[in-house]
């Protein structure tokens, strides 16, 4: 991560290059008219989040005292007791989708569409937990993505997994072909 103070024609800026950093976001603090301090959070991709519970707790630690923090989802009260920092979350306005599953009964794939015919998948396999890839899971993900019109029949769909890319072709007649690297040892 690169943070540089820069000036141009008398204007002063802090330039934060997030292209090489491994962090979840940037907390920006400023004066608030309604609370002790105002917090904005910029995600790694540059988008602004409405709220970040752990970020607000970090602001409390930074200030070193109980405080009220203004966020896009309202004012949050932070309380510090020793090493424990708590925040009254009130209503959570960030969009979340929560799934409950019993890993003893099913494999569970979490899939993000990156582009047409390109998916990113994280998988939890029954009896194992999170794994680097799953061939049957990749096939199931592509079948569902075709149903949702994110992918096409008769096309090699790339499924990006932590362990490497898998390629799945589902033909219009129902055949499913799974391809990818395999190595010894």
Low-confidence ranges of the chain (pLDDT < 50): none
Length of the chain equals 185
Task: Mark whether 84 and 114 lie in a shared domain.
Answer: no
User: Residue 166 is part of which domain span?
Assistant: 108-180
**Number of folded domains in the chain?**
2
Q: Could you give the CA distance from residue 185 to residue 74 in angstroms, rounded to a whole number?
A: 54
CA 63 to the chain's CA centroid? 27
**Per 3-state DSSP, what percentage of the chain is helix, strand, and coil (rounded to 5)?**
15, 45, 40
Task: Mark whether 19 and 72 lie in a shared domain.
Answer: yes
This model's pTM is above 0.85: no
Q: Could you give the CA distance from residue 42 to residue 24 in angstroms, rounded to a whole number?
A: 9
Q: Could you give the CA distance from residue 38 to residue 28 in angstroms, rounded to a whole number?
A: 8
pLDDT at residue 152, rounded to an integer: 97
Task: Mark whether 147 and 73 lie in a shared domain.
Answer: no
Asked, for residue 34, whether it belongs to a domain, the answer is: yes
User: What one-character DSSP code corresponds to residue 34?
Assistant: S
CB 143 within 8 A of CB 176: yes
pLDDT at residue 66, rounded to an integer: 97
pLDDT at residue 100, rounded to an integer: 76
Asked, for residue 167, whether it belongs to a domain, the answer is: yes
Please identify every residue annotated as catalytic: 52, 134
């Amino acid at each position: 991560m690169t943070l540089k103070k820069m000036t141009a024609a008398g204007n002063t800026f802090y330039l934060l290059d997030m292209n090489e950093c491994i962090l979840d976001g940037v907390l920006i603090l400023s004066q608030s008219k309604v609370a002790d301090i105002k917090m904005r959070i910029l995600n790694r991709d540059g988008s602004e989040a409405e709220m970040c519970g752990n970020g607000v707790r970090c602001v409390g630690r930074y200030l070193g005292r109980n405080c009220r923090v203004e966020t896009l989802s309202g004012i949050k009260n932070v309380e510090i007791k020793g090493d424990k920092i708590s925040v009254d979350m009130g209503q959570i306005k960030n969009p979340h989708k929560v799934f409950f599953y019993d890993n003893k009964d099913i494999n569970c794939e979490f899939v993000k569409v990156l582009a047409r015919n390109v998916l990113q998948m994280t998988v939890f396999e029954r009896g194992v937990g999170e794994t680097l890839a799953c061939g049957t899971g990749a096939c199931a993900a592509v079948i569902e993505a075709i149903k949702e019109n994110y992918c096409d029949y008769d096309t090699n769909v790339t499924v990006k997994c932590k362990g490497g890319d898998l390629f799945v072709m589902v033909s219009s007649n129902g055949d499913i072909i799974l391809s990818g690297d395999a190595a010894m040892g």
